[in-house]
Amino acid sequence: MEEAYMTSDKPYLRHLNNFQDLITTHEETRAAFVSAALEKNRRATPFVEEARDLKIKASRAKVPKDLLNIPDIEAALVTAASVSDKAYSHFSVEDKLAAVHVLIEKFLEPAGENFVEELVYRFLLTRGDSLGGSMRNWVGVIAQRKVSRALIASLANAGIPFYWLDRNSDTWIEGSRDDPDIELLAKGISWRRNDQDRTLLFNIGVPFVGKPGNNVDFSLFNCGYEAFVHGKTADSPKQQPDLYLALGELKGGIDPAGGDEHWKTAGSAFTRIRKSFSLSGHTPASFFIGAAIQHRMAEELWVELEAGTLTNAANLTNMDQLASLCGWICAL
């Protein structure tokens, strides 16, 4: 099996027969939407409870300006004034008070006797935006965890020891195939196979590819984890093009309406990668993993696979495809 992975110049043919195999089925789309809806409801529970608490306390006010004298709702008032959690820490006390005064004068006072309901609605509106942002992050995190677990499974079944990089302590830890929480904390995996060291890092900036902040989802290096040092020193593997074995893009969003945009973003990333590495005469493998792959996108992926501009691809919702692609990564 490993020999087939290593010698085939078209590793995607191990799990794909044609472009149709890449298309996300209606059943897979529906299952992902249901999972996201359940998670969104779970995450919304604290917001609903906060809104109930706010309504009870705010009901003590006879007129909107009385809200300023009610203890323990200061933060809620700022939230209702459309100040997000991210912006909150950047506002001074004076800025927050000014935002609340605008809320009272422009929106609560015109609401008349329904000002408490208006307050709660605007509070939930801001919290809902926050929830939407956290859900978008959740989709990406879950997708990465899914790939991480598939990689670990491939290594475990091959009897290959591995280390993983803990995102909290930024230290490498010896892995265990029985630990169910590794993918929750890992931001990299390293292993040794056939006397070859390999390290896969998640979501890192490649110094000579694109602008700072344009991270690559997966970067596989031809070295062990010991070679990585803190900082941007010249001897870091990240600074050496010839140490990159493969780079990959992951798009975990399931909404079919966003699939083409996801592929456009990933395609632009691959173009930057190819141009940057061509300057050094090095051509690492490239792979794409996506959840919302529709007909046209699948056709475009297949064209790139057949042309060799893309080395491998898989649909995130298809576990057979994901396992095959991760097996290929582990055998590179």
Q: Of 129 and 109, which is predicted with more confidence?
A: 109
- Please give the mean pLDDT across all residues of the chain: 88
- Domain holding 314, by residue range, is 2-23+160-331
- State the pLDDT at residue 164: 95
Give phi and psi for 201, each to the nearest 5.
Answer: -110, 145
Q: 71: helix, coil or strand?
A: coil
Q: Report if residue 228 sits inside a domain.
A: yes
Q: Report if residue 141 sits inside a domain.
A: no
Q: Report if residue 66 sits inside a domain.
A: yes
- State the pLDDT at residue 316: 94
- State the pLDDT at residue 165: 94
Clarify whether residues 10 and 65 are in a common domain: no
Contact 150, 322 (CB under 8 A): yes
Clarify whether residues 164 and 294 are in a common domain: yes
pLDDT digits (tens, 9 = 90+) for 270-286: 888 888 888 888 899 99
Clarify whether residues 52 and 187 are in a common domain: no
Contact 285, 332 (CB under 8 A): yes
Q: How far apart are CA 71 and CA 74, in angstroms?
A: 7
Find, among 213, 240, 217, the residue nearest to 227 by Cα.
Answer: 240
Clarify whether residues 196 and 124 are in a common domain: no
Q: Report if residue 126 sits inside a domain.
A: yes
Q: Report if residue 190 sits inside a domain.
A: yes
Q: How far is CA 70 from CA 74, 94, 120, 121, 285, in A?
A: 8, 18, 15, 19, 61
Q: Which residues contact 261 (CB under 8 A, 6 or more apart)?
A: none
pLDDT digits (tens, 9 = 90+) for 173-194: 999 887 888 888 899 999 999 8
Q: Domain ends where: 132, 147, 178?
A: 132
- State the pLDDT at residue 134: 67
Q: Report if residue 231 sits inside a domain.
A: yes
Q: How far apart are CA 291 and CA 29, in angstroms?
A: 8
CATH number, position 57: 1.10.238.90
pLDDT digits (tens, 9 = 90+) for 64-93: 999 999 989 999 999 999 988 778 888 888
**pLDDT confidence of 213, banded at 50, 70, 90?**
low
Average pLDDT over residues 5-32: 86
Q: Report if residue 145 sits inside a domain.
A: no
Instruction: Say how many Å lie between the first and final Cα of the chain, rounded.
Output: 12
Clarify whether residues 96 and 125 are in a common domain: yes
Clarify whether residues 179 and 279 are in a common domain: yes
Q: Report if residue 100 sits inside a domain.
A: yes
Q: Sign of dihedral through CA atoms 87, 90, 93, 94?
A: negative
Clarify whether residues 127 and 94 are in a common domain: yes
Average pLDDT over residues 107-114: 95
Average pLDDT over residues 148-154: 94
Most confident of 110-124, 196-210, 218-232: 110-124
Clarify whether residues 230 and 327 are in a common domain: yes
Burial letters 232-250, b for 16+ CB under 10 A, else e: eeeeebbebbebbbbbbbb
Number of domains in the chain: 2
DSSP codes joined into one string, 144-181:
HHHHHHHHHHHHHHTT--EEEEETTT--EEE--TT-TT
Clarify whether residues 65 and 10 are in a common domain: no
- State the pLDDT at residue 209: 80
User: What is the model's pTM?
Assistant: 0.78
Would the pLDDT of 215 be above 70?
yes
pLDDT digits (tens, 9 = 90+) for 287-320: 999 999 999 999 999 999 999 999 999 999 999 9
Clarify whether residues 199 and 279 are in a common domain: yes
pLDDT digits (tens, 9 = 90+) for 261-270: 778 888 888 8
CATH number, position 305: 3.40.91.10
Give phi and psi for 205, each to the nearest 5.
Answer: -85, 130
- State the pLDDT at residue 172: 94
Q: 268: helix, coil or strand?
A: helix
Clarify whether residues 19 and 57 are in a common domain: no
- State the pLDDT at residue 67: 96
Average pLDDT over residues 28-34: 84
Clarify whether residues 115 and 262 are in a common domain: no
Would the pLDDT of 5 be above 70?
no
Contact 266, 288 (CB under 8 A): yes
Q: Domain ends where: 112, 132, 152?
A: 132
Token digits for 252? 């975990």
- State the pLDDT at residue 176: 85
Would the pLDDT of 52 be above 70?
yes
- State the pLDDT at residue 211: 65
